[in-house]
Amino acid sequence: MRCAVRPLSPGSHVLNRTTMPIRETFWNIPRWAEYANYLLGLLSFLILIYGLWRRTRVWLRGRPAMRSDRVAQRIGGMISDGFVQLRTLSQPLPGLMHKGIFLGIVFLFVGTVLATLDWDITRLLFDVRFLQGVIYVTYKLVLDIAGLLLLLGVAVAAYRRYVARPKRLVNALSSTYTRDDAYALAVLATIAVTGFMIEGLRLAVVQPWWAVWSPIGNLVAHAFVSLGEQTNRTLHLSIWMFHMLIVFGAIAAIPYTKFVHIFTSPVNIFFRNLNPPGALEPIRNIEEAETFGAGKIEDWTWKRLLDFDACTRCGRCQDACPAYATNKPLSPQNIIVKLGGYLWQTPLATGKKDAALRSMHGEVITADELWDCTTCAACVQACPVYIDQMGAIIEMRRYLTMSEGDVSRNLNMAMTGMEQNGNPYGLSRNQRADWAQGLGVKTMAEAGGNVDILYWVGCAAAYDDRNKRVARAFVKILQAANVNFAILGTEETCTGDSARRAGNEYLFQMLAQENIATLNGYGVKRIVTACPHCFHTIRDEYPQFGGNYEVLHHSQLIAELLAQGRLSLSKPLDSGSVTYHDPCYLGRHNNVYQPSRQIIRRATGRAAIEMARNHAHSFCCGAGGARNWMEENRGTRINQNRAAEAIATGAATLAVACPFCMGMLTDGLKAKAAEG
* Segment 393-434, tens digit of pLDDT: 999 999 999 999 999 999 999 999 999 999 999 999 999 999
Residue 22's pLDDT band (boundaries 50, 70, 90)?
Answer: confident
- What are the distances in angstroms from CA 81 to CA 125, 277, 551? 38, 17, 30
Is the alpha carbon torsion for 455, 457, 462, 464 positive or negative?
Answer: negative
Q: Which fold has domain 286-406?
A: Fumarate Reductase Iron-sulfur Protein; Chain B, domain 2 (1.10.1060)
DSSP 634-654: SSS-HHHHHHHHHHHTT-SEE
* Percent residues over pLDDT 90 in the chain: 90
SS3 of 22, please?
strand
For residue 45, the model assigns a pLDDT of 97
Task: Report the length, in residues, of the chain.
Answer: 676
Instruction: For the chain, give every residue range classified as CATH 1.10.1060.
Output: 286-406
Residue 168 has pLDDT above 50, yes or no: yes
Residue 6's pLDDT band (boundaries 50, 70, 90)?
Answer: very low
What single-letter amino acid sits at 182? A
Q: Which residues of 540-552 are buried (b: 16+ CB within 10 A; e: fewer)?
A: bbbebeebebebb
Look up the pTM and report it: 0.92
For residue 11, the model assigns a pLDDT of 37
Residue 26 has pLDDT above 90, yes or no: yes
State the average pLDDT over residues 613-636: 96
State the average pLDDT over residues 494-515: 97
- What are the distances in angstroms from CA 40 to CA 29, 37, 53, 109, 190? 15, 5, 20, 17, 18
What single-letter amino acid sits at 328? K
State the average pLDDT over residues 348-373: 92
Backbone dihedral angles phi then psi of residue 406, each to the nearest 5 degrees: -95, 80
Query: What span, in angstroms and rounded, lies between the C-alpha atoms of 597 and 588?
Result: 16
N-term to C-term CA, the chain: 84
For residue 9, the model assigns a pLDDT of 34
DSSP 176-219: HHHHHHHHHHHHHHHHHHHHHHHHHHHHHHH--GGGGGSHHHHH
- What are the distances in angstroms from CA 176 to CA 250, 291, 337, 373? 19, 33, 11, 26
Mean pLDDT for the chain overall? 94
Helix segments in 329-442, DSSP class H = 332-343, 347-350, 367-371, 378-382, 389-398, 409-421
For residue 1, the model assigns a pLDDT of 31
Catalogue the E-assigned strands of 533-667: 550-553, 578-580, 653-655
Residue 619's pLDDT band (boundaries 50, 70, 90)?
Answer: very high
For residue 16, the model assigns a pLDDT of 55
User: Is the backbone of residue 436 left (phi > 0), alpha (psi -120 to 50) or beta?
Assistant: alpha
Instruction: For the chain, give every residue range classified as CATH 3.40.50.
Output: 422-568
Q: Which fold has domain 422-568?
A: Rossmann fold (3.40.50)
